[in-house]
Structure 1
């Protein structure tokens, strides 16, 4: 079983009672997120945010993004608890803790081993004839497709030589047409001027829309904010699973569904799997599709991060599922938004960083040279956390006004939000924290994988500590059914 520890928020709460104002690093960003979703302004008085950027080496306010999004989701969970009849409570988030949580997969350790390798040998950045491209080849079918497209073997030198003879955007387009994941490097101006960039900019950061009618569904008081909430999760890699992890931390019953034929990255399954149960279904099989529909009819939330349109092909779009379960909250995360020419394009955090201009701007701030990645998968972690925030916002609305709801977040729109936060003048003056530097933020957990070192959640709740009741489990451990 997991070793689960609540976090003592007493020192920070005592400072609040004595009237010592905390540093304001994420205060404005939190208030902006909260107001955009129409959540009650009075609740913001319950939050203590400490620390300022930089906490990770970057010219972007990565710590602020981490702190504000984590605090917003935690505060929304306390608001759900309050409206269920629970008492008020306070939320504290230290910026350093939030930044470490946004790098949780980097600090995962299994036993006494080294950090698991997360990247395929040919993934990464390459020069082309007229610019740069970034490849994402962690899934075998993506890797093999790139190699077929280039006509080379699986080694970095061969890939580099082949790409040096290609145009960056021409190869990006060819890869997209083949269903592969590649991004050409752009700057902010080029992305903003593109049709895809304009479409993303017109979308809300967190879209919460009513898509059907249902009566209000108040929830009885539970010991934890989301106790009794059922979440059916179909996600992979980081962003979508992070959303499920956030909900599980506040007591939701999260059932993760994977498919035997779809590849996974096991270290990420472990890192994001705390507090969840795991079952397998193959939606291509009629019997399993029927089992999924039965699960959906009994859930509160369907959370999915597959390519837009993928589940619709099985008749499992938001409106169809809301027809099965009036009052459903359907939450989706995409790479490049839900409108415009790139809406159906596959993508991952590292690619969206390149396509939207973040890598070029980071390199310029660092003094030039090769394009520079952010010091964390910020878009993944922020996107997933914001998706959880949107789900909780929809839940609050369902409790009071009823309805079925659709929640949508994209990595590209999250990139635009990060870019809009104040840049950090001395962002590269801080050291990049290694494993030994964050030992104070790690829990030791026994699991089916062995003993794990896992990053503790950054949000500290004074009355209902955010904890994961169970350790990560191997995929398919459980039957595809809800707890009785």
Structure 2
């Protein structure tokens, strides 16, 4: 286990042209989560790589040389944080009733129905009311790919279960295979902008979080744990999953702007002029259409680190298709198990991509600190799935079975506007610094569109 983690961390660092040399202490050798994939090692490696990036940035600001510590169990269970969240002692619902895997006439298909518009698309595409039994009966009469195509055509989100070989031959699968795990490009010149010394790796760093669901919000939550001023930007008309708003909202403030209006766009431009990092998980080209693509934003704020997260990749025929972790697992063959759909034991593609996006943001900040420039990082859940598959298979010897126990020893409690929250603490640590969240999640739109930290 330890060697698998350290080797993966070294590969991740080399992938973004970062020196992997550092003291890395990996604790825990027992398997944690049941899966044919090396999910424990994947979680620990992405946590360690992001923590190392934080340590390198802190060192550049006058902190100590990084010594990274990661506990495999803590990392693996943190990738299930939404399952362990408790609000006033109760577990909030994460999945809508229609969401799930359905048996089709020739295989399996997954429907994503967590947003009202997606539920309506499913019922419209299948010609049935919003009833799980009626949806199941309609799906059973059709082919899996037919259901996928029909639901997607009317603005819904669905994915047929494919074999890994079928995905490898799919046009989008071939495109994803040619992409780096974390693509980083220099957007343009900007003077080096050294960060002042700080007590935390990201003290004084301002992060705009224009993301929803899990991957992007996890990236922002991770940066907040290292001291960043993170402002999440949503809108009244954008649907949210309440449980995920809470789980990924620690350490952030939350404002609403309507980017369909000129006042909303003006307010966002003003925020960008004062930002250091912009995280966005809109479908590719969507923000460009509003005037907030990476080059436009770098022109507003030379030296900006712009991080784009997508489901299927920034290129290819599926680049603008709606996608979520559970759908990507089926389409890419990650969930394939002798013809049945077997999900990973966590939303690993979401969480892993989120931690890698946080790493990319900090690598970009380090480059800006040392050599200048504006930077653009691109990641996708589909490419993270390919990386997970490339780690190999878990050993069957000593594999755990069933659900792990509720991790009381990894939980903390915090009061919030939502109630009393029990949540998983952030994993990973540096000698001299343990990441933490100082503030609870905020209700959507509760905060003004302004930075909390002064310049």
Q: TM-score, normalised by structure 1?
A: 0.91
For the residues of structure 2 that align with 1:147 and 1:53, how far apart are their CA atoms?
45
* Structure 1 match to 2:343: 373
Whether the 8 Å CA contact 1:53–1:424 is kept in 2: the answer is no
Q: Are the equivalent residues in 1 in contact too, given 2:52–2:66 (CA < 8 A)?
A: no
Q: Does 1:466 align with 2:435?
A: yes
Q: Distance in 2 between matches of 1:207 and 1:422?
A: 22
Matched, 1:482 2:451: yes
Matched, 1:87 2:64: yes
Q: Does 1:256 align with 2:235?
A: no
Q: Aligned pair 1:390/2:366, yes or no?
A: no
1:122 and 1:135 in contact (8 A); partners too: yes
Q: 2:40 maps to which residue?
A: 63
Shift of 1:432: 3.7
Match of 2:9 among 30, 34, 37: 30
Asked if 1 retains the 8 angstrom alpha-carbon contact of 2:312 and 2:318, the reply is yes
Say which of 282, 288, 292 aligns to 1:312: 288
| Partner Cα separation in structure 2 for residue 199 and residue 303 of structure 1 | 23
Cα distance, 1:428 vs. partner?
Answer: 8.4
State the distance in 2 between where 1:160 and 1:475 align: 34
The alpha-carbon distance between structure 1 residues 87 and 59, as it changes in their structure 2 partners (threshold 3 A), is: same
Q: Distance in 2 between matches of 1:412 and 1:41?
A: 25
SS at match of 1:132: strand
| Cα distance in 2, alignment partners of residues 406 and 225 from structure 1 | 21
SS of match in other structure, 1:277: strand
Q: 1:76 aligns with which of 39, 53, 56?
A: 53
> Which residue number in structure 2 is paired with residue 220 of structure 1?
196
- Where does structure 1 differ by over 3 angstroms across 4 or more consecutive aligned residues? 431-434
Q: Which residue of 1 aligns with 2:386?
A: 416
Aligned residues of 1:58 and 1:428 also touching (Cα < 8 A): no
Choose from 453, 465, 469 the match for 2:422. Answer: 453
Contact 1:54–1:426 under 8 Å retained in 2: no
Aligned counterparts of 1:471 and 1:181: Cα–Cα separation in 2: 31
Give the distance between the partners of 2:88 and 2:150, measured in 1 at CA: 42
1-side partners of 2:397 and 2:115: how far apart?
Answer: 33
Q: Give the aligned partner of residue 408 of structure 2.
A: 439
What's 1:288 paired with?
264
1:16 alignment counterpart: none
Residue 249 to residue 432, structure 1, CA distance change in 2 (3 Å): farther
What is the alpha-carbon distance in structure 2 between the residues aligned to residue 470 and residue 185 of structure 1?
40
**Structure 1 SS opposite 2:222:** helix
Structure 1: how far apart are the matches of 2:341 and 2:106?
14
Provide the C-alpha distance between the structure 1 equivalents of 2:394 and 2:49, rounded to a whole number of angstroms: 22
The Cα shift of 1:297 comes to 1.1
Is 1:426 matched up with 2:396?
Answer: yes
**Farther off after superposition, 455-464 or 403-412:** 455-464
TM-score by length of 2: 0.97
Once residues 375 and 97 of structure 1 are traced to their aligned partners in structure 2, the CA distance between those partners, rounded to angstroms, is 15
Farther-moved stretch of structure 1 (128-137 vs 67-76):
128-137
Q: Shift of residue 427 of structure 1?
A: 7.3
Distance in 2 of aligned mates of 1:52 and 1:464: 24
Residue 49 (structure 1) aligns with: 26
Gaps of 5+ in 1: 1-21
SS at 2:69 equivalent: strand
> Counterpart of 2:341 in 1: which secondary structure?
coil
CA–CA distance in structure 1, aligned partners of residues 449 and 431 of structure 2: 34
Determine if the alignment matches structure 1 residue 165 to structure 2 residue 134: no
Shift in Å at residue 53 of structure 1? 5.9
Deviates more, 1:172-181 or 1:68-77: 172-181
The 8 Å contact of residues 89 and 422 in structure 2, kept in 1 or not, is answered as: no
Q: Distance in 2 between matches of 1:23 and 1:132?
A: 36
Q: 1:101 to 1:339 in 2, by over 3 A?
A: same
Task: Answer whether contact 1:89 1:463 (CA < 8 A) is retained.
Answer: no
Separation in 2 of the partners of 1:157 and 1:177?
Answer: 22
Instruction: After superposition, give the CA deviation of every residue in 1:326-380 in whole Å (9 maximum; x if it has no partner).
Output: 11111110000111111111100000000000111xx34xxxx731101000000
The answer to whether the 8 Å contact 2:84/2:406 transfers is no
Q: For 1:175 and 1:69, locate their aligned partners in 2 and report how far apart those are by CA, in whole Å.
A: 33
Q: 1:176: Cα distance to partner?
A: 2.2
Contact 1:54–1:427 under 8 Å retained in 2: no
* Correspondence for 1:352: 328
Moved more, 30-39 or 199-208: 30-39
Aligned in 2, Cα 1:427/1:135: closer, same or farther, shift over 3 Å? farther
Q: How many residues align?
A: 453
The answer to whether residue 23 in structure 2 is matched with residue 40 in structure 1 is no
Q: CA RMSD in A?
A: 1.4
Give the Cα–Cα distance (whole angstroms) in 1 for the partners of residues 59 and 403 of structure 2: 37
1:133 maps to 109
Per mean C-alpha deviation after superposition, the further-off stretch among 88-97 and 248-257 is: 88-97
State the shift of 1:174 in Å: 2.4
Alignment partners' CA distance in 1, 2:7 and 2:415: 39
Counterpart secondary structure, 2:21 = helix
- Write the mapping of 1:85-164 to structure 2, written as runs, cut at 5 A: 85-113=62-90, 115-164=91-140
Deviations 1:278-300 (A, max 9, x none): 11111112111110111011101
